[in-house]
Structure 1
Amino acid sequence: MSQQMPDTESLKAFNEAITDEFRANDGKVGGQFEGADLLLLTTTGAKSGQPRVSPLAYFRVDGKLLIIGSFAGADVNPAWVHNLRANPSAHIEVGNEPSEVTARELPPDERDELFGKITAAAPGFAEYQAKTSRVIPVFELQPAD
């Protein structure tokens, strides 16, 4: 049972609206993400070389800043995963604090351990994993040197 791919244009408009609201309100947004820990991740497009902004939930687990490539359980990774794999240097905004980071994709053992802690705090991510045959990737964002 495969998942529908989110419509690219709808997703783009949705992300732009959240991004605008985030920047206008020091990182606070309403709707389905009200009260969630969100950051804006700016990656470099793997093909285009253009900056790409994605609003994402983040988690702090064991002192690590983590983001999850769930794409709501779709059978493909979100574009930002592909972009980070091609170029792990990125820019984030947490609240009104911008910073440069380097993304590190967690190896399987570490990913499994931390994913369990994430799903304990946010059970929706376990539901997303159950919907897809791919292993949902988890990235640690580390301050750039």
Structure 2
Amino acid sequence: MIPRPTRDWAPKLMNWAHRLVLTVSGGRLLDRPFGMPVVELHTVGRKSGLPRSCYLTTPVHDDQRLILVASKGGDDRDPDWYRNLMATPDAEITLDGNRIPIHARTADPQEKAELWPEVVRAYRGYAKYQERTSRDIPLVICDLRP
């Protein structure tokens, strides 16, 4: 088992590195890992009230909504971005250089049952993450707002 401090810093370090590569490359490198578009999620810290952002992939998306997977690599805890988003569901994403307002909600069990096969088809690693944890990994439906 990887110690908890390492598990907590690894995603933050990966997010920092992803941000650096995207910035230095002008958004040309690592913009579609595993074929999934990258979005920058902009939330408000649920404890601090400060702006927060992180990079995530969206395995399922269309012009009305996008789906985020709160996997945290199969950790037994929900990711901070998910908890922030559930506390303040009106947020923004940056996709293809455009900042877009969203309203987020956790998929209900029926929606998750319909979406999960598409999510795993986009990236099989999500199925492995679910096997690593007893937590039901939430899918977040982000409705794009005009």
- TM-score norm. by structure 2 comes to 0.84
Q: Structure 2 matches for 1:6-25, cutoff 5 A? A: 6-25=6-25
Q: Does the aligned pair in 1 maintain the 2:44–2:88 contact within 8 Å?
A: yes
Q: Identity over the aligned pairs, expressed in percent?
A: 30
The alpha-carbon distance between structure 1 residues 42 and 31, as it changes in their structure 2 partners (threshold 3 A), is closer
Distance 1:45 1:10 in 2: 19
Q: Does the aligned pair in 2 maintain the 1:100–1:143 contact within 8 Å?
A: yes
For the pair 1:41 / 2:5, whether they are aligned, the reply is no
Distance 1:24 1:142 in 2: 30
Task: Give how far 1:94 is off.
Answer: 1.0
Q: Structure 2 matches for 1:1-145, cutoff 5 A? A: 4-5=3-4, 6-25=6-25, 27-30=27-30, 33=33, 35-61=35-61, 64-145=65-146
The alpha-carbon distance between structure 1 residues 27 and 94, as it changes in their structure 2 partners (threshold 3 A), is farther
Matched AA of 1:43: T
Judge which range, 111-120 or 30-39, deviates more.
30-39
Distance 1:40 1:31 in 2: 11
The alpha-carbon distance between structure 1 residues 140 and 4, as it changes in their structure 2 partners (threshold 3 A), is farther
The alpha-carbon distance between structure 1 residues 34 and 66, as it changes in their structure 2 partners (threshold 3 A), is closer
The alpha-carbon distance between structure 1 residues 89 and 27, as it changes in their structure 2 partners (threshold 3 A), is farther
Distance 1:131 1:45 in 2: 27
**CA-atom RMSD in angstroms:** 2.5
Q: Structure 2 unaligned runs (5+)?
A: none
Q: Structure 1 unaligned runs (5+)?
A: none
Matched AA of 2:101: E
The alpha-carbon distance between structure 1 residues 36 and 117, as it changes in their structure 2 partners (threshold 3 A), is closer
Q: Does the aligned pair in 2 maintain the 1:29–1:35 contact within 8 Å?
A: no
Q: Secondary structure at the match of 2:82?
A: helix
